[in-house]
Structure 1
Amino acid sequence: MCVNSGDRWLPDVTMAKPLQGMEPSMYRTTRVRPLAPGPERDRLAAELRARYESGASIRTLAKETGRSYGNVHQLLLDAHVTFRASGGAQRIVS
């Protein structure tokens, strides 16, 4: 299904149907917002880096900014972040 956006028709991603077995939160419900290289991207990458280094998770940053996990991860890569290990607290094996 498409929606009329002024003078052109665009796919209506809010009407997307999930693949079998997928939770509704696992498929896109918002339009992609590309972020071209330049000062705005650099500013956002620096802001995300500061928040990530303060302890925020990539998923939290993605949700708060309305961007995908992959987009936030790429911005953090571009900002030269040293990523934390995934999986929460490490267990001590005795």
Structure 2
Amino acid sequence: MSATPREHTRTYHLGKLATELEQRGLTALLRAHPPALRISHPDTHMLAETVDCVPLSEGWFYRWSWGEIVGLTDDPALAADRIVRVLAARQ
């Protein structure tokens, strides 16, 4: 089964976010079907979150597992900063 263009777009955006998260000291593992990132702090693997990527009328957005929008895929650095803050608040 080959990936659809939409899955390729999701994977592309999630890859950009993964790079930003890893630069901030987090671990980001890409799940293939459906494309999503499993994000955790290397020292506290029990504390993890999943972020996916969805197209909305205003563009592509990163989205938390509970459905809330993290941010636009046009700014993966800003989205990564928000994810870091949320995970830090849960420690």
For the superposition of Structure 1 and Structure 2, which TM-score range results when normalised by the shorter chain?
Answer: under 0.3
Higher strand share: 2
Higher helix share: 1
Whose Rg is larger? 1
TM-score normalised per structure 1: 0.25
TM-score normalised per structure 2: 0.25
